[in-house]
A and B are shown apart, each in its own frame.
Chain A
């Protein structure tokens, strides 16, 4: 006999004036290899079509389905129900604006982050279609890719103590983004220029070092190392500026 799973799901549709924030209980019979992707879609299609949640790739690649699963931010699509107690509580990620039920607006948050960090390669070089590509050491390419693996799910920010206390904290995702360009030899920005972006309490010096970001990152990005790396680099930059004055 398959287990009966009890889902406690946060419900609130801000666009519906009759809706009030509440928890709602659903019961579903478990099937083999069930994930929260399968379970939530079955709930929507069989029990309550008004349920709002996001999935996209359903393969742990795109980061669309982050939510708080039994108290911990994670990707719903790669969460197997077999690994959980039959009593499952699902809440939307904090920090981000609620769209409805389990869906939050990570898109707007991250687009603002691109502008804040100027998330692109800064170069004065102009592309010449007649020339061979500039050479790059393969190890450097792999190092860049390692940090580029962020899927912008938002888990690290939702789990971050500083981000929960102050709205203007950039969060690990943004700091990791900066680190990605710091290691990229094509980006001509100097440490001083990076310092202007992240050398404040909103940036790298706001991090309290609790490191929940790395604990919850579904891509296992080396956030602890990157935050340490940036903190040292920006600390040295700050000292240099101090002595130059």
Chain B
């Protein structure tokens, strides 16, 4: 058994993981970063649109400042976020964008003079100021008062990921691809690292560290229709939940993106609508302006996804062999715009739909996209329940997004939170020493080896892991999608209980040797079903509608009873998660109010939780 030691072990080499690693390495600590795939293939690289930061350089962003960004974020979250965290984020974002520019990100820059832009299909003129020439520019994204989304053409995530990984190479950080953490090593109160499967050879290794950070991204792959990469499978959340003490924050807060393509669910960026693209129905007519006269296509994602679903229920959807959908129209943006600023979209249309977006409509519908849910941490990124465990990025519920995140805020969060939390990790490591118990490490490894042996021998049964996963995905699509209601959620919980029992009886069909993928799937299936169950149970309990959590039987946002964050733990040996609640925020810079889009009624709070306690 090979054992590796570092001050900090980061699980996941996407933007937040590498950003934490950079910060800790700059402070002089040794860091190992694990990744299932080569770092630059991390799902951060798929984010096309951009990063929100209130630089206020471009004409349409004039007068922007962190206060406005903060307000947009809080409204976007439907007052579910931690306002202290949202403030920290909005204030730090502009500095982080400049730091990225210094490290090498080729941000698009302000070009002075007149230019045109589209909004709601109409053409407008804007004039960029000469004294801003060459500063970082921004584009428009949903749910924002100003143009604030910094970008590099349509490959922002890719470009920033390249720069961050280059920075890791420059600092000599040990980034190990094709390694997968399959269990945390812990004693119930402190985390000491992880048991890791090498995805080249299949061997188990131990990685010991004073601090461990889970930065594994979201878990969209437990849904059947998701924009997420196949690696966004909740592996990091599964090992956290398996400890029995780490906590999942707001599991019911799952975002559905308005424009996943039909079929294949690949995302076309919100930049399409930001740049003036429109949504059309079966009659090729716009409809969003009927429901949202002010923001129209650019209301927040939860709102647009709901109106799209509603509009299809009114019989206005387009019928296809893959079910109903609507259209995204970017034809009027023109060849030059589509071939430069929306090139990835152009490629996706060509390669996966066989259409030309200059002359044809793009079939789209709401698709699972983002998990606001995640490993619950405090504002320093320290996970609840285990000392020495941290989490950041989409994997975490640091909680700047509450019940809906704005486009461009998650990609920005990866680096902003990574920087802030990396600094806190370095402070934690300063002068901190631990004793590693060899018995604890041995037991952790033995337990994982026994699991693997049981899968290979079929000791627990011969359930097919892929069928179990499919059953989980179907159950969530039926019960926990854009709209939810009591009876469907109850049915979903029941189905998931059966599926959970099946997940305990999985056995491999293949021999499990080497880089075997069936074994990798088997190792996380039980954890995935747990995540699904947390979503369903928490969604059933929350008898209100807030952000992306839309209950048809409780359509109002209930600040009186539900201005709180769900916390889910799965105690060792239990069959169901245990829910509890906490105040979403102790600071209320902006008291709960109307978002200005989305409609719906609000049951007001009698007093603000956490403020007067």
Contact = CB atoms under 8 A, between A and B. Distances in A.
B169 A133 contact: no
Contact of B516 (A52, A108, A152): A52
Contacts of A148: 106, 152, 155, 158-159, 162
A61 B46 CA distance: 6
Contact of A63 (B41, B133, B137): B41
Contacts of B133: 135
B517 to A, nearest CB: 7
Interface string A102-143: 010111101100110011110101010101111111101110
A137 B514 contact: no
A236 interface: no
Contact of B107 (A44, A111, A132, A141): A141
Contacts of B514: 13-16, 52, 99-100
B40 interface: yes
Nearest to A219: B347
B134 A137 contact: yes
Interface stretch (B108-116, B251-259, B540-548): B108-116
Contact of A49 (B106, B135, B354, B518): B518
Contact of A50 (B46, B229, B267, B518): B518
B516 A141 contact: no
A59 B110 CA distance: 30
Given A107-B37, A107-B38, A135-B133, A50 B109 contact: no
Interface string A39-79: 00000110011111011111111111000000000000010
Contact of B135 (A48, A100, A129, A132): A132
Interface in B86-121: 95, 97-99, 101-104, 106-111
A186 B135 contact: no
Contacts of B158: 61, 148-149, 151
Interface stretch (B1-9, B76-84, B170-178, B595-603): B170-178
Interface in A1-34: 13-16, 32-33
Nearest to B165: A114
A229 interface: no
A202 interface: no
Interface stretch (B294-302, B505-513, B559-567): B505-513
Contacts of B466: 45, 49
A118 to B, nearest CB: 8
A142 B7 CA distance: 39
Contacts of A16: 511, 513-514
Contact of A119 (B169, B200, B352): B169
A149 to B, nearest CB: 6
Interface in B512-545: 513-518
A144 interface: yes
Contacts of A78: 347, 351-352
Interface in B334-356: 340, 344, 347-348, 351-354
16 contacts: A49-B509, A54-B37, A56-B231, A58-B230, A59-B266, A63-B40, A64-B41, A99-B515, A111-B175, A114-B169, A121-B104, A121-B166, A123-B102, A145-B159, A148-B155, A148-B162
Interface of B: 37-38, 40-41, 43, 45-46, 95, 97-99, 101-104, 106-111, 133-137, 152-153, 155, 158-159, 162, 165-167, 169-170, 175, 177-178, 199-202, 229-231, 263-264, 266-267, 321, 340, 344, 347-348, 351-354, 466, 508-511, 513-518
6 tightest Cβ-Cβ pairs between the two chains A and B: A15-B514, A135-B134, A50-B510, A107-B38, A107-B177, A144-B106
